[in-house]
Amino acid sequence: MSTTAPERRAHVLIASERLPTRVGLRLALEPEARCTEADDAQSALDAAVSDRPDVCLLGLDPSGQSVQVVKEIVSKVPSAAVILLTNKLDEEEFMAAMRAGASGYLTQSLDPKRLPHVVQGALRGEPAVPRRFVSRLLDELRTRERRRSVVLAGKGRVALTAREWEVAEMLLRSASTSEIATELGVASVTVRRHVGSLERKLGVSTRAEVVALLAADGGAATPA
């Protein structure tokens, strides 16, 4: 007879300037999770980098500060799932958090009984987002994945993803790998992967050749 493996006890970093918020979240999660705390943005980032938690719950004030910390933690600790907790759900803030790399966006008034399930879901790679924002997220993903094509003299039409085109445009502006990573909010290794994909699709072996090919008078980009 098969048995179901027990869920792993996660390490959760709880970040909030408000002691009652941190205490409430800890009580909701323990003993199922091992919790550590941070009381401001910098200590949250420092703790994430040094302790490598599985999940980070960020309820910092103002919420825009949380979005920036999300971006930094995702960049420096890509293995962590980062969930932004907000006082009031806001669609634009939600999208900013998703673009920064958040795995979830929830209100701080969430039923405490749901928190352990949210954390376990995050460990499985499941997003934690309000249902009313799902359609907006899908629209954003469709837009980001919209394909473009570049017509090159002697090579015909080559299809590029929207992100590859963003990277190509920044290469044309002589941006470095780190500059592109910062601008797009991704890791440097992700930028190098996109550059490698561009090189393969365009039939060249260096980023300098990518730039030269795209900058040539015969090159033109159009929607696919």
Rounded Cα gap, residues 182 and 176, in angstroms? 10
Question: Domain boundary at 110, 140, 170, which?
Answer: 140
- Residue bearing the bigger pLDDT, 155 or 116: 116
Q: Which residue has the higher pLDDT, 165 or 77?
A: 77
Note whether 214 and 121 are same-domain residues: no
Q: How confident is the model at residue 163 (pLDDT cuts 50, 70, 90)?
A: confident
Q: Are residues 173 and 100 in the same domain?
A: no
Per the structure, the complete domain to which residue 122 belongs is given by: 11-140
Do the domain assignments include residue 3?
Answer: no
CATH code: domain of residue 48:
3.40.50.2300
Least Cα distance to 155 among 223, 86, 204 occurs for 204
Mean pLDDT computed over every residue of the chain: 86
In a domain, 25, yes or no: yes
Same domain, 16 and 113: yes
- Residue 107 forms part of a structural domain: yes
Q: Which of 100, 123, 140 is the last residue of a domain?
A: 140
Regarding whether 112 and 83 lie in a shared domain, the answer is: yes
Q: Which of 8-12, 53-57, 212-216 has the lowest average pLDDT?
A: 212-216
With 60 as the cut, is the pLDDT of residue 170 above it? yes
Note whether residue 86 is domain-resident: yes
Integer Cα distance of 39 and 142 in angstroms: 37
DSSP secondary-structure letter at 126?
-
Token pair, residue 132, equals 């009313």
User: What b/e string do you get for 99-115 counting C-beta neighbours within 10 Å, with b at 16 or more?
Assistant: ebbbbbbbebeeeeeeb
Q: Which of 146, 155, 144 lies closest to 220 in space, CA to CA?
A: 155
Side by side, which strands form the sheet with 220-223? 156-160, 148-152, 220-223
Whichever domain contains 206, its CATH number is 1.10.10.10
Q: Are residues 104 and 165 in the same domain?
A: no
Same domain, 91 and 123: yes
216 within a domain of the structure (yes/no): yes
The number of domains in the chain is 2
Domain membership of residue 85 (yes or no) is yes
| Same-domain status, 30 and 101 | yes
- Clarify whether residues 17 and 123 are in a common domain: yes
Q: Would you say residue 5 lies in a domain?
A: no
Residue 147 neighbours by CB under 8 Å, 6+ apart = 159, 160, 161, 162, 224
Domain assignment present for residue 17? The answer is: yes
Higher per-residue confidence, 136 vs 4: 136
Same domain, 75 and 160: no
Residue 222: pLDDT band with limits 50, 70, 90? very low
Residue type, position 154, single letter: G
pLDDT for 53:
97
What's the average model confidence in pLDDT over 47-56?
Answer: 97
Q: Above 90 in pLDDT, residue 43?
A: yes
Q: Where are the alpha helices (DSSP H) in the chain?
A: 19-29, 41-51, 63-76, 91-100, 115-123, 134-144, 162-172, 177-184, 188-202, 207-215
Task: Give percent above pLDDT 90 in the chain.
Answer: 51
